[in-house]
Chains A and B, each alone.
Chain A
Amino acid sequence: MDSILLVSHVDPDGALPRAALEALAAARTLGAPVTAALFGHSVGKAAAALAGTGVAKVLVVEDPALEAARYSTDAAAAAALAKASGASLVLAPATSRMTRVMAGVAQRLGGRIDTHVTQLVDEGGPTAVRWYYRQRIEAKLRRKERPWVLLVDPGATEALKPAGGAAPPVEKVALALPAPRTQVTGVRSPSSGEQTIRPDAKVLFVAGAGWTKKQQDGKPHPEEAEALILAFLRGSGASLGSSKSLVDQAGEGQKVFEFMTHLNQVGQTGSTPRHAKGLATCCHGEEPHVVGWRFIRERRAVNLDASCGWARGKADVLYVADAFAVMTKVNALLAAKK
């Protein structure tokens, strides 16, 4: 029987990341006892938040140097915790911080790693479900090697709801961290601010290259398109995604929206965000683009082309209409509601 460790950093405010509770829920499906491990500047708050989650104990490494997300110190801490636990399965939430280090940790443990796990099941042993080839092929796999490190994708599992009660016992793991050669100096938001893909938004708005193309009067209207998109984002609180062809235009020096960067791109080399709802407008393309919204639960599209590959068979509803006209009306309704 495998022994399971869930290892996570704590958030900058000391809280337990939500993604850790999701990974814990995935770990619990395997039925084996779960030990937790936390590292950070101060982990007490996060350890207490594990009360009533069924974890047997919490191993911790605390050090001021662990306040910053940095490979050398994080990898040392996570590896020490995993070694101390002796676990054969090491699970971690795929936050940017854990993703940066866990492959290195697996190597230090002499183990193996698999990432982007969307589901764990017990089918003749621990079995992971993950995607290959840009979310186009899904595989279920088991591994012979141990320790086996698994990174669980955020948003793929419902987070475990702690029942409260007594906090699990905490055990400190002593560790001398290496002297860092890297200093984390801060976090920078792109100038676009509100217009990036935010996982917490309910709606993802996907803008396609059609917004910059010629409209019915034979001319492109990028300024109007920009105003409509921004007004919608502000009115709805939606996150902004974009097709590759639209962000590529920026790289080619064409007139394109000021706020659009590669950070907005979904599908292909862009992200595969998870939102409850997605609204695609003026998009055109096929499978590799569409993978960008594989994990959007409810999907609608506005497009002039009834046979659009973005929509047919991929969206729940396709409105065959001029997005400029529709979004003008949508924005008016959203403004009136406020």
Chain B
Amino acid sequence: MERQSMAVDIACVGFGPAMAGFLTTLSRRLAAAEKPPLESAASPGLPLQVVCYERADDPGFGVSGVVTRARGLREAFPDLEAAQIPMAAKVRQEKVLYLLDPVGASRRSAALRAADAAIRAARFALKYEEQAVELPYVPAYLHKLDGFVFSMGQLMQWMSGQVLSTGTVQIWPGTPVASALVEGQAVKGVRLVDQGVDRHGNPEGAFLPGMDVTAALTVVGDGPVGAVGRQLDRELGLPQGSHGRRDWAVGMKFVVDLPEGTPLEPGTVLHTLGFPEPEIFGFLYVHPDRVASVGIFVPSWFESPVRTTYRYLQHYVQHPYLWRFLRDAKLRSWGAKSILESGRRGEPVLAGDGFARIGEGSGSTNVLTSSGVDEAFTTGVQLAEGVIELLEAGKPLTRENLDAAYVARRRASFVEAEGRVAEKARDGFQRGVVTGLLGMALAGATGGRISLGEEPAHPAEKVSSLEQFYAGRIPAGDIAAIRRDCEAKGVPLHDALMDRAGWPAVPLDGKLLVTQQDALLVGGKVQAPPGYADHVTFLRPELCRSCGRKVCFEICSAEAIRPGEGGVPTFDREKCVHCGACLWSCTQRLDGTDEVNLAFRAGTGGLHSAEN
């Protein structure tokens, strides 16, 4: 069957906060009756043709626990009120908490153990309750007191509604972009994924080859694990000296109905550290109407090869400080997402002939202030302003012109200034949690002039062996026995190892403590349409067979990747939530490059919850 093609003026990849910023700004200009119309070059006589392709089945199916200062958002929507958007609340109270380990199963360094003992001894002098101590103040760079708590899903749904109602641009959900059409150093548009294929991509039934959509400008905002952004990095190269995307975390969250009579007020924001492992940070945000988001981040510098986010999240919500609020809470939604923590340092080439990069995948996330949505949105606005300027002047969308109109705007903005401060702020974590926290404090206090640690190595290098990670806690012989047993059963190792390390069994209650599959079905409402290829594949089976760590199925947020026969993992497309944690957790680098053996392409399906 012939591949069809279609011409538009601007093709956009991925509808997230950055693209919302781009399309909000652009659509307002296109709808402005008082200004001269911007005409289409692709379809002469028609207004500018702008299309955005989103892989998820709805613009509201994104994931993020969002607390944001919303500086860029409020500039774009000066009348923004929390009441306009479901689940939005003004931030009213913010706390940073250090959680002690009431279980005794986490892996804590000698320094941390000493600190824990000191806290317990001095607890009457501290703001201490329920195995947690409140930090005396929230560092200025972390606070969001003038901001909002949002549900990312609801925020995106609201913004897509605003954009669509102008009638000037189109957002097509359920339509993944397979790749950019690259010619030399230029991008000429995008190719959509094939439909009517089996899981290996072979045509079957009603085959429809992915259409080529040519465009004068391709806007890439497909996020940290997006296929198009990574393709451009690979094919067009990174800025000189850059290693690109090396520092990661996966965030996983529950959205819960809090019990009646909960003391938690809407707009309450808790940041936590210390538990369930010192490397794992957590959060609880309170939305209106007794709803809260609670979740954790598992970073790529956490050495454990069995870093299961779900099991850790179950222990996290049971920490006494949180459990008193969550004991009778009920699961409403669940989701997971990778966060690119390289920040400004992971910035790719921002613009070239016929393309521009915006949002998290373009290195906009601020890793010191833990802020990404507002920055991403702002980069989208900046690109739109630049593009409007070029179109009004009748200038072509070349690298030179985009550099002047977009990149220069970005460089002059808070995104760049604050991103520079944050650039090395987290390097200390490469040496440990305590060094990491000190490094952040130093970078925050000195405007980024002083930092600790070094630039992260490839994430594959951070994963230790099981024996190393559990040294002194589980004898090597026991690890070998657990490995044999799990292999025979065809299950990942994390549950058996965590049980052995002293983590108690999770008392499933059918409310908040549910099986991972129930979290998928009841919380995430995960599903995938038939007729598409697997988007996760393993390139060289022999590398999987010889891999001793297999972090891919340990960290998989949805149990979509499982141990398979002959040592090659299996992938179940219908369970995948596209979090991308497998991508940066694969320890099998290909031929010394930053590429790994696990291929993560654009795919359909995933979460069907709009509350995350």
Q: Do A and B have CB atoms closer than 8 angstroms in the complex?
A: yes
B565 at the interface (CB under 8 A from A): yes
A248 touches B521 (CB 8 A): no
Interface of A is mostly: loop
A213 CB → nearest B CB, Å: 10
B494 CB → nearest A CB, Å: 17
B530 touches A248 (CB 8 A): yes
Least CB separation from B565: chain A residue:
A218
Tell me the bound Cα distance from A329 to B375 in angstroms: 63
B518 touches A309 (CB 8 A): yes
A252 touches B522 (CB 8 A): no
Bitwise, B511-551 to A at CB < 8 A (1) or not (0) is 00001011001100000001100000000000000000000
B518 touches A253 (CB 8 A): no
Tell me the bound Cα distance from A249 to B531 in angstroms: 9
Tally chain B residues at the interface, Cβ within 8 Å. 13
Which residues does chain B contribute within 8 Å of A285, judged by CB atoms?
521
Which residues does chain B contribute within 8 Å of A253, judged by CB atoms?
196, 204-206
The one of A254, A307, A309 that contacts B205, using a Cβ cutoff of 8 Å: A254
A171 at the interface (CB under 8 A from B): no
Tell me the bound Cα distance from A309 to B525 in angstroms: 13
Tally chain A residues at the interface, Cβ within 8 Å. 10
Q: How many A-B residue pairs have CB under 8 A?
A: 25
Which residues does chain A contribute within 8 Å of B196, judged by CB atoms?
252-253
Which residues does chain A contribute within 8 Å of B565, judged by CB atoms?
218
The one of B205, B515, B517, B518 that contacts A252, using a Cβ cutoff of 8 Å: B205
Tell me the bound Cα distance from A134 to B522 in angstroms: 17
Which residues does chain A contribute within 8 Å of B198, judged by CB atoms?
254
B518 touches A249 (CB 8 A): no
Near B by CB (< 8 A), chain A positions 238-265 give: 248-249, 252-254
Tell me the bound Cα distance from A197 to B176 in angstroms: 38
B166 CB → nearest A CB, Å: 33
Tell me the bound Cα distance from A309 to B526 in angstroms: 14
A122 at the interface (CB under 8 A from B): no
B531 touches A307 (CB 8 A): no
Tell me the bound Cα distance from A286 to B515 in angstroms: 13
Least CB separation from B570: chain A residue:
A214
B521 touches A252 (CB 8 A): no
A310 CB → nearest B CB, Å: 11
Tell me the bound Cα distance from A286 to B514 in angstroms: 14
Bitwise, A93-104 to B at CB < 8 A (1) or not (0) is 000000000000
B530 touches A286 (CB 8 A): no
A169 CB → nearest B CB, Å: 58
Tell me the bound Cα distance from A179 to B235 in angstroms: 73
Near B by CB (< 8 A), chain A positions 127-156 give: none
Bitwise, B498-518 to A at CB < 8 A (1) or not (0) is 000000000000000001011
Least CB separation from A218: chain B residue:
B565
B195 CB → nearest A CB, Å: 10
B515 touches A307 (CB 8 A): yes
B530 touches A307 (CB 8 A): no
Least CB separation from B516: chain A residue:
A307
A309 touches B521 (CB 8 A): yes
Tell me the bound Cα distance from A227 to B432 in angstroms: 60
Near A by CB (< 8 A), chain B positions 182-227 give: 196, 198, 204-206
Tell me the bound Cα distance from A285 to B530 in angstroms: 16
A314 CB → nearest B CB, Å: 13
Least CB separation from B514: chain A residue:
A307
A80 CB → nearest B CB, Å: 49
Least CB separation from B525: chain A residue:
A286
Tell me the bound Cα distance from A286 to B521 in angstroms: 7
Taking each of A249, A285, A307, which has the highest tally of chain B beta carbons within 10 Å of its own beta carbon? A307
Instruction: Given A218-B565, A249-B530, verify A307-B518 contact (CB < 8 Å).
Output: yes
Bitwise, A200-221 to B at CB < 8 A (1) or not (0) is 0000000000000000001000
Which residues does chain B contribute within 8 Å of A309, judged by CB atoms?
517-518, 521
B283 CB → nearest A CB, Å: 28
Tell me the bound Cα distance from A87 to B196 in angstroms: 56
Least CB separation from A313: chain B residue:
B510
Tell me the bound Cα distance from A254 to B521 in angstroms: 25
B602 CB → nearest A CB, Å: 20
Tell me the bound Cα distance from A161 to B231 in angstroms: 74
Tell me the bound Cα distance from A285 to B575 in angstroms: 12
A306 CB → nearest B CB, Å: 10
B522 touches A286 (CB 8 A): yes
Bitwise, B539-568 to A at CB < 8 A (1) or not (0) is 000000000000000000000000001000
A142 CB → nearest B CB, Å: 31
B551 CB → nearest A CB, Å: 24
Tell me the bound Cα distance from A307 to B520 in angstroms: 13
A241 CB → nearest B CB, Å: 20
B517 touches A307 (CB 8 A): yes
Taking each of A252, A254, A285, A309, which has the highest tally of chain B beta carbons within 10 Å of its own beta carbon? A252
Which residues does chain A contribute within 8 Å of B206, judged by CB atoms?
253
Bitwise, A267-291 to B at CB < 8 A (1) or not (0) is 0000000000000000001100000
Bitwise, B295-316 to A at CB < 8 A (1) or not (0) is 0000000000000000000000
A2 CB → nearest B CB, Å: 41
Tell me the bound Cα distance from A218 to B565 in angstroms: 8
Which residues does chain A contribute within 8 Å of B515, judged by CB atoms?
307
A250 CB → nearest B CB, Å: 10
A6 CB → nearest B CB, Å: 43
Tell me the bound Cα distance from A249 to B205 in angstroms: 10
A219 CB → nearest B CB, Å: 11
A254 touches B522 (CB 8 A): no
Tell me the bound Cα distance from A218 to B568 in angstroms: 13
Which residues does chain B contribute within 8 Å of A254, judged by CB atoms?
198, 204-205, 530
Interface positions of B (Cβ within 8 A of A): 196, 198, 204-206, 515, 517-518, 521-522, 530-531, 565
Further pairs besides A253-B206, A254-B204: 10, Cβ < 8 Å: A248-B530, A252-B204, A252-B530, A252-B531, A253-B204, A254-B198, A254-B530, A285-B521, A307-B515, A307-B518
Pairs across A and B, CB under 8 Å, 24 listed: A218-B565, A248-B530, A249-B530, A252-B204, A252-B205, A252-B530, A252-B531, A253-B196, A253-B204, A253-B205, A253-B206, A254-B198, A254-B204, A254-B205, A254-B530, A285-B521, A286-B521, A286-B522, A307-B515, A307-B517, A307-B518, A309-B517, A309-B518, A309-B521
What are the 9 tightest A-B residue pairs by CB atom distance, in nearest-first order?
Answer: A253-B205, A286-B521, A252-B530, A252-B205, A307-B515, A253-B204, A252-B531, A218-B565, A309-B521
Interface positions of A (Cβ within 8 A of B): 218, 248-249, 252-254, 285-286, 307, 309
